[in-house]
Structure 1
Amino acid sequence: MTEMIEGRNAVLEAFRSGKCVDKLFILDGCQDGPVRTIAREARKHDTIVKFVPKERLDSMSETGAHQGVIAQVAAYDYSTVEDILKKAEDKGEPPFIILLDNIEDPHNLGAIIRTANLAGAHGVIIPKHRAVGLTATVAKTSAGALNYTPVAKVANLRQTIDELKEKGIWFVCADMDGEVMYRQNLTGPIGLVIGNEGNGVSRLVKEKCDFTTAIPMKGDIDSLNASVAAGVLAFEIVRQRLSK
């Protein structure tokens, strides 16, 4: 399960063979013909392109022969938002989707996908920017859940929320200042939005949510790991669905 592809021919072939390249790293200032061709392919496939110094590429390289380009390839194929909705429809259940804002730790993403599967969520949605993709580490941490739980990657989380609202899904955002989760109705077609533990859900995404919910906490620190928070809230949704 390859995470990185190095060298000009190998990277170009990765694009042309249809591999899902999450990010392309190019040596800063490198503008020769072959590199321009690779960058053009990246734009065609809507891949994020980052120009980085030689030291960064050298530190990422496993072969020592990157030739100024390294592609980070998804270990698993992405699904679509439509795939997630179809999964709910096929099961005859109201959609339950987990949306992640700025989750950059692959262990957190893998653990959340595992939780999503066990809680019966129909899929996970991640943004294209400022987020980790489906790397081999994510796949391993998910403990096999990636084989069963669709993960969609979208260009704009806010726009996706708007589109899903039109389909009757409402959105609850995890936030320390929200109403305690036990006092809220978390049944029906729902999107649970989780942010990273440092900054939480970004303001613009939070504004798109219908309301915020909080996990009651008794300790001396004020935040849970993102994957733990996702687990606690996901299983409160499960509890409320079962009690209904």
Structure 2
Amino acid sequence: MSQRFEGKVTLVTGGASGIGLAVARGVVEEGGWVVLADLDAEGVEKAQAELGPQASGMVFDVADEQGWRDAMACVESRHGRLDALINNAGVLAEGSIEETDLATWQRLMRINADSVFLGCHHALPLLKRQGGAIVNLSSIAAIGGKEDYAAYSASKGAIAALTRSIASHCRRERYRVRCNSVHPDGVMTPMTAATYPAGVVPADYTIRQDPMHRLCLPEDVASGILFLASDDAQAINGIELRIDSGQFVMSI
């Protein structure tokens, strides 16, 4: 296996489960250090135990600015550098524009969009010292829109637009920092599974051999994130990478 992350430090939000944990596994397997950020203290502890000494954890609210200040101070004290930031944490809420209330709108904007802004804002000073990468988790909903997910679509659209702005800024300032967004659809994570009534999704739906007719696995998305976070993607900046088994193409 390649060692693309050897000697490098990656911070992953929402790192205790789902896509975040899959990314963290990949970083460790490829020789890197990973910092898991999550509100789920028990999940962080369990993930650390699985990943071993190359993993450390932080429990904080990614939508809280002081939490990010403390996290960056801790990363600098512990590692002296940050090479990649993976803004993965997020929540999902169903509701069309007519069904969504202001409280739901504001909650999703805070957790999904504010957290990415804060992460990028506070991590950039560390990242630009030696260069690195930011990968922001958006969604196919940001590109095509989901009629029953108004607030979610808007929050993920904000992430996509912010990503392009950061990529342009870093290029203009000649920082060796790249910023890209990843746009999954239909990933079988704990968050997604919770939206399905029991028994609706067949147990084998995520493991069928036909990759075009199944929900993506967290590892499917993690592989794209790891590529963008690595030096293999050193000429890729400001893109929107769709990881959706062609769902978006087939829907238009």
TM-score by length of 2: 0.35
Q: If you compute each CA radius of gyration, which structure gives the higher value, 1 or 2? A: 1
Q: Which has the higher helix share?
A: 2
Per the normalisation by structure 1, the TM-score is 0.35
Which has the larger strand fraction? 1
